[in-house]
Amino acid sequence: MKKTIAVMALSALFAMPIAAQAQQAATPATGTPTKMKAATTQGDFVAMAASSNMFEIESSRLALEKSENAEVKRFAQHMIDDHTKAGADLQAALAAGPKSDVPNRLDPKHERMLEELRAASGTQFNALYMQQQQAAHEEAIGLFQGYSMNGEAGPVKEFAAKTLPTLEMHQQMLGKVKAS
């Protein structure tokens, strides 16, 4: 009996660091938990990534039209360029591996965010655009981190890992634009 209890105690002791590592892996490097649910399948990841990508492009097109701030416009053009490339890279990854449906519409959350932007103007627009970009990039980073670490092996997982540094760079750029 004492031997069984000792074995169980040792097992629990060795399991604690593993549980702590698993918890750390679920939290992005920023220390901020993500708001976007985790993509458990390739189809989930593709749907969430495509909607996020479309939102980045459409909201940035609005920024080019509505903003009078040169830095905001420069950032918006950079988002359009990078996210258009990311969309093409996702399509190429899907062509090279298992197929998943790519939505051609924003999900309801991103559609609401875009509607809020359409209704805003002037400095209110700039502030809302930058706030939404920050939130969207935090969520996308969490999504891409999670899928690149835990997703189904193949071209889409490789796409997630390859695209993640670009998303992190965008988040750094946001900090510089907001500060000016």
User: Has residue 27 been placed in a domain?
Assistant: no
Per-residue confidence (pLDDT) for residue 145, from 0 to 100: 96
Q: Could you read off the pLDDT of 26-81 as tens digits, one per residue?
A: 333 333 334 456 677 999 999 999 999 999 999 999 999 999 999 999 999 999 99
Q: What percent of the chain has pLDDT over 90?
A: 69
Per-residue confidence (pLDDT) for residue 15, from 0 to 100: 40
Q: Are 132 and 117 in contact (CB under 8 A)?
A: yes
User: Has residue 31 been placed in a domain?
Assistant: no
User: Has residue 29 been placed in a domain?
Assistant: no
Q: Are 80 and 61 in contact (CB under 8 A)?
A: yes
Residues in CB range of 15: below 8 A, 6 or more apart: none
**Residues of the domain holding 104:** 42-179
User: Has residue 13 been placed in a domain?
Assistant: no
CATH at residue 170:
1.20.1260.10
pLDDT at 14 over 60: no
User: Has residue 73 been placed in a domain?
Assistant: yes
**Domain total in the chain:** 1
pTM listed for this prediction: 0.76
Backbone angles phi, psi at 26, to 5 degrees: -80, -10
Per-residue confidence (pLDDT) for residue 147, from 0 to 100: 95
User: Has residue 12 been placed in a domain?
Assistant: no
**Element of type H or E holding 174:** helix 155-179
User: Has residue 17 been placed in a domain?
Assistant: no
User: Has residue 171 been placed in a domain?
Assistant: yes
